[in-house]
Amino acid sequence: MGQYLIANPWLIWPILAWTLPWKGVALWKSARNEHKWWFIALLVLNTMAILEIIYIFFFSKKKEAIEKKEEKVEAQEQEKIEE
């Protein structure tokens, strides 16, 4: 792959345009979800956005789902108190 990139340096820009947004979103979500080891892996490893996409769609939703359930339970408890 390295020799191919040296022979075709113009290919670096589309690769960067593809990888950087995925990496940015994945790092942001892992930091927000306090997934320290995911953050480190996403920061250090360059997998052409494959690992980032896997994290975003399969692993980052766990904390968000838990928080939504907690908010729903709190709202139900609040309704009971008001009645």
Q: What is the pTM for the complete model shown?
A: 0.68
**Structural domains counted in the chain:** 1
Give the pLDDT band of residue 65 (cuts 50, 70, 90).
Answer: low
Q: Report the distance separating Cα 52 and Cα 46, nearest Å.
A: 9
Residues 6 or more apart whose CB falls under 8 angstroms from that of 34 comprise 63
Give the residue numbers spanning the domain of 17: 2-82
Percent of residues, the chain, with pLDDT higher than 90? 43
Distance CA 49, CA 25 (A): 11
**Structure confidence at residue 8 as a pLDDT band (50, 70, 90):** confident
Confidence band for 42, pLDDT divided at 50, 70 and 90: very high
Mean pLDDT of 67-72: 77
Q: How far is CA 37 from CA 2, 31, 45, 74, in A?
A: 28, 10, 12, 30
Give the separation between CA 71 and CA 3, rounded to whole angstroms: 53
